[in-house]
Amino acid sequence: MVMRGGTSKGAYFVADELPDDPGERDALLTRAMGSPDPRQIDGIGGAHPLTSKVAVVSPSPDPDVDVDYQFLQVGVDDGWVSDRQNCGNLLAAVGQFATERGLVTASGAQAYVRIRLVNSDSMATASFPLDAGLPVYDGDTAISGVPGTAAEVRLNFADTAGSSCGALLPTGAVSDVIDGIEATCIDNGMPTVVLRATDLGIAGDETPAELEANQPFTGRIENIRLHAGKLMNLGDVSTTTVPKMTLVSAPRAGGSICTRTFIPHRCHDAIGVLGAVSVATAVRLPGGVGAELLLPGDDPDLVEIEHPTGAFAARVEIANGPDGPAVGRSGIVRTARKLFDGVVFPRAAEPGETA
């Protein structure tokens, strides 16, 4: 099933319909998406990292969980497949997919699906409207980066802090200096490095195309990312999509902060769900990069994050724990829609290629 989840789009599969061997599975998915090819012309991928994504869903063996969701990022140009990160946007449609496929049974006017994010062994609950036991996709909720409106999908996260790096602040500090630039390295569901745009000599409201074309700037960003990966217990990140790199600056349209995010080499047209949660957490921490941009008197738990195509509201509860800042619940609102349900025909494997 092809579904839009938030501002991403991907192919959703029931796990037992894919090969058990991860290598065979990844090779099959690469061919189904049409990689490696910048246009993905021979597959169903959309020729962009935001539309070359896969969700693998299965019933969970845990009685306190409804379904397990594994996210796989399929490289467009190079054909690699990575499970090193989550995708909160595709998560927005996992509950509906599971309901459509009969993996969960829902009733009443509202579904509540408990989802384990396999990539980080963390939890989320997705709620969305129902009609006669099936998801309702039409509604009046609008999110930036998606035309029109759709039904509201509410995502509440738990146990996301440190899910990939082992700690909310994996370096042990609220801020570090990497290649001469102050950075907050954080993991509240998505390993992210938060930097001030002005520290890197840009305003922070440039278009994604302008930033991608600035090769000295993108080279500097990648150098910081490679160093940050080691500091964040991620090791060599030269071939992975994490950590994400987010530049923060003063808001331009009435929000809390303005952002530009790299994923990791393309500048995001918006911002990812868990990336937004991590950035919102960073700027809520005293001494965090960008914390000085928040205005006194604003809702202390809500951060309105401006991005190239609009804004994204993330709610994060933070308390002071015995070992430093502790995150309570995090929540966001997304929309999702079923786009296509059918059969995909991957190209045949080449000689010597995994079947």
Q: Report the CATH number that the domain containing residue 202 is assigned in CATH.
A: 3.10.310.10
**Beta bridge partners of residue 56, listed in sequence order:** 13, 70
Decide if 169 is inside a domain: no
Decide if 164 is inside a domain: no
Residues 73 and 98 in one domain: yes
- The tally of domains found in the chain comes to 2
Residues 237 and 94 in one domain: no
Decide if 254 is inside a domain: yes
Q: What pLDDT score was predicted for residue 321? A: 76
Residues 117 and 197 in one domain: no
- What confidence tens digit (pLDDT) does each residue in 6-23 have? 999 999 999 999 999 999
- What confidence tens digit (pLDDT) does each residue in 274-291 have? 999 999 999 999 999 999
Residues 185 and 153 in one domain: no
pTM value > 0.85: no
- What confidence tens digit (pLDDT) does each residue in 68-92 have? 999 999 999 999 999 988 999 999 9
**Beta bridge partners of residue 313, listed in sequence order:** 304
Low-confidence ranges of the chain (pLDDT < 50): none
Q: Which residue range forms the structural domain that includes residue 197? A: 176-321
Q: What pLDDT score was predicted for residue 276? A: 94
Residues 154 and 6 in one domain: yes
Pick from 39, 56, 57: nearest CA to 48:
39
**Residue 237 phi, psi (nearest 5):** -105, 15
Residues 228 and 92 in one domain: no
Decide if 348 is inside a domain: no
- What confidence tens digit (pLDDT) does each residue in 309-337 have? 999 899 898 888 777 788 888 889 999 99
Decide if 49 is inside a domain: yes
Decide if 329 is inside a domain: no
Q: What pLDDT score was predicted for residue 355? A: 52
Decide if 350 is inside a domain: no
